Structure 1
Amino acid sequence: MLCGLALAVSCGCSAGGGDGERPPGAPTGVSARAGSATSVHVMWNAVAADPPVDGYEVYRGTAKVADVPGSAHMLDVVRLAPATSYVFTVRARDGEGRLGPPSRRVRATTPAAAPADASAPTRPGRVTGRAAGSRAVQLSWSASTDDRKVVSYDVYQGGARIHSVGGGQTATVVTGLRPGTAYAFAVRARDAADNISPAGPAVRVTTPAGADEGAGTAPSGFRAGAHRAADGAYYIDLSWVAPPVDGVVTEYGIQLDGSTVTSLVWGGTPPRGRATYSFFLGREKGVAHRVRLRARLPDGTWGAYSAERTVTTGA
């Protein structure tokens, strides 16, 4: 374990699936945010399994509150009490009915109810969108106002709500889209009393044709260097910033000299900002290596690769 990361190929926790004899793994990237005084928005990363995940079970404490289809990775838990702290976990279930272990526990506290609040927030303004490659769209909007406080923003694709973000957030990246496809997005604001604003101006974005995985989903600020350890061996040192996608990125694939060498999975909460990792290269001096990495996105797909860097041992 280095920098909070686990080496998937050595610990048997690779997300590439198993032999069909094991239940699915625990969902990663689980988060919970209050959507109003009486609701919490729970979100998690897709779980790769063989056979595929058929559904998810969401728990509040020890009580199951909902079954969610395997294609969904979010749920609004409603009819909660205002100003109350809740703990949530998620479990994956495969097509043969096997239930995986629970995710880590996440906590959310609903805000206090606003008495006699019948006033909805203003509609979000200046909604803009642009394609971030062929499989992702970046959205942004200007903040809404409310006589109390905006608690969250709901993002709609067509007429379906696909995600919620906190009231202090005015941008997001929607992933898991199809190349060469036209999409329409809208944003609504919500306050603690569950009053919902009118939709902001609809924004239409068409993803370009092509097989790229979305330039906006690549890790940024990728750096690579090498150092020599006390035993004479050379190690490569990587650092990067996670792509700004909805949800939490917990897994990265590293490619060395054109071949994928390992998958890195965070065992705990990924760090905010810059992440770092080092791994063994060899003992020979003067050997040049090309390296890059990509993130497994919360929807279960792989994002685009970072820029490629060249590192020479002993340089």
Structure 2
Amino acid sequence: MRRTPHALLAVTAAACTLTACAWSGGQDAKDVQPPAAPRGVTVQAGSATTAHVMWNQATDDTGVTGYDVYRGAAKVEHLPGDKHMVDVVGLKPSTAYTFTVKARDAEGNVSPASKKLTVTTPAATAADRKPPSRPGKPSGSAEGSRAATLSWGASSDDQGVASYEIYQGTSKIHSVAGSERRTLVTGLRPGTAYRFTVKALDAADNASPASRAVRITTVAGRDDGRGTAPTDFRARTHHADGAYYIDLAWTPPHTGGAVSEYQIHLDGRTATSLVFGGTAPRKKATHSFYVGKKPGDTHRVKLRAKLPDGTWGGYSRERKVTTG
């Protein structure tokens, strides 16, 4: 007997009901894929008893809903998926701590741990109740439509400045080491006015008065990304063991911390990602990669950095090289 399409659909539906089969890609399909491990993790001792942990936004096929921060094997913080920084408190002075971060999605799938980073808190100071002096007035400029560069005058403290905290309005958005005087603030909106201030913190958690404010308006429209791009980018080739390699050198963008991840663009397409293990270079970075065995081939190459907020910065200038 010939079945009509409606009859076939009814038979199929009945079979699925009896066998509890799931439609591929249907709404009931369970997400079993965990997020990728968070990258770009940085840890900065804020004082003798605190540490500031930051990381890049992790990726997931359905979206990251939360992050877990671990001190050693113990989970010490849980944050929602739109947060990528936290101050871990209650630490001991002059003590080394190792931190990792894991991402979590809505189904409870947990990513592998990020790379481990160790920080040592500074020594406590006896009966230190004197805060650092007020930082010098910040100055800054918009770096396109989604970032701004800030710099400020140094604070003084009888025991030394442990860190500087950057505020956007009344919200703390970043922390850098006491030796830093400049940082890159990312994740801003185009054509928007922002107000930034800076506070200094010593090892005893004494905070200075806020600096005078600096007001910066980001550029409206599309961002060319030049302010977040690596600079002094150079490329050349060398020949070894019958093959040609492209050697790259550049200065990382100033973000107030180390940039650990880059994306290399070769001949108009993404060629590879570069992730520095251990301590990422701060002043000059280099990398070499294989491109083939044929002499006389011309290639175009550029690269960009992954910024602290998890977004990609602008591309460096493009360089042209020829093998051989």
TM range, smaller chain: 0.7 to 0.9
Which of 266, 276, 282 aligns to 1:256? It is 266
2:116 aligned residue: 105
1:62 aligned residue: 73
Q: 1:135 aligned to 2:146? A: yes
Cα offset, 1:282, TM superposition: 3.4
Inter-CA distance 83–285: structure 2 relative to 1 (3 Å threshold):
closer
Find the aligned partners of 2:48 and 2:182 in 1 and give their Cα distance. Answer: 23
Q: Is the 8 A contact 1:29 1:250 kept in 2?
A: yes
Q: 1:216 aligned to 2:216? A: no
The answer for unaligned runs of 5 or more in structure 2 is 1-30
Cα offset, 1:267, TM superposition: 4.4
Q: 1:293 aligned to 2:303? A: yes
Q: Is the 8 A contact 1:131 1:207 kept in 2?
A: yes
Q: For 1:207-260, what per-residue CA distance to the aligned partner results, in whole angstroms no more than 9, with x for missing partners? A: 1113225312101111111223332x4332222222111444222222222222
Q: For 1:12-70, what per-residue CA distance to the aligned partner results, in whole angstroms no more than 9, with x for missing partners? A: xxxxxxxx642122222322222122211122222122222111111122111110121
Cα offset, 1:140, TM superposition: 0.5
**Within 5 Å, which residues of 2 pair with 1:13-32?**
21-32=32-43
**Within 5 Å, which residues of 2 pair with 1:38-53?**
38-53=49-64
Report which of the two structures shows the higher radius of gyration computed on alpha carbons: 2
Cα offset, 1:162, TM superposition: 0.5
- Which moves more between the two structures, 302-311 or 30-39? 30-39
Identity of aligned residues (%): 60
Which of 284, 288, 298 aligns to 1:278? It is 288
Cα offset, 1:119, TM superposition: 1.5
**Within 5 Å, which residues of 2 pair with 1:1-315?**
21-231=32-242, 233-314=243-324
Letter of the 2:115 counterpart: R
The alignment yields a C-alpha RMSD, in angstroms, of: 1.8
Q: Is the 8 A contact 1:213 1:302 kept in 2?
A: no
Find the aligned partners of 2:92 and 2:275 in 1 and give their Cα distance. Answer: 35
Cα offset, 1:193, TM superposition: 1.7
Q: Is the 8 A contact 1:48 1:300 kept in 2?
A: no
Cα offset, 1:82, TM superposition: 2.3
Letter of the 1:81 counterpart: K
Cα offset, 1:268, TM superposition: 4.2
Q: Is the 8 A contact 2:166 2:173 kept in 1?
A: yes
Inter-CA distance 143–102: structure 2 relative to 1 (3 Å threshold):
same
- Which moves more between the two structures, 29-38 or 173-182? 29-38
Inter-CA distance 26–248: structure 2 relative to 1 (3 Å threshold):
farther
Cα offset, 1:298, TM superposition: 2.2
With structure 1 as the length reference, what TM-score do the two structures score?
0.87
Find the aligned partners of 1:284 and 1:104 in 2 and give their Cα distance. Answer: 37
With structure 2 as the length reference, what TM-score do the two structures score?
0.85
Find the aligned partners of 1:59 and 1:35 in 2 and give their Cα distance. Answer: 17
Provide the secondary structure at the position in 2 that maps to 1:216: helix
Find the aligned partners of 2:262 and 2:128 in 1 and give their Cα distance. Answer: 45
- Number of residue-to-residue matches in the alignment: 294
Flag the structure with more relative contact order, 1 or 2, with Cα contacts below 8 A and sequence separation at least 6: 1
1:15 aligned residue: none
Find the aligned partners of 1:236 and 1:267 in 2 and give their Cα distance. Answer: 21
Provide the secondary structure at the position in 2 that maps to 1:25: coil
Find the aligned partners of 2:94 and 2:288 in 1 and give their Cα distance. Answer: 43
The answer for unaligned runs of 5 or more in structure 1 is 1-19
Find the aligned partners of 1:256 and 1:161 in 2 and give their Cα distance. Answer: 38
Letter of the 1:62 counterpart: A
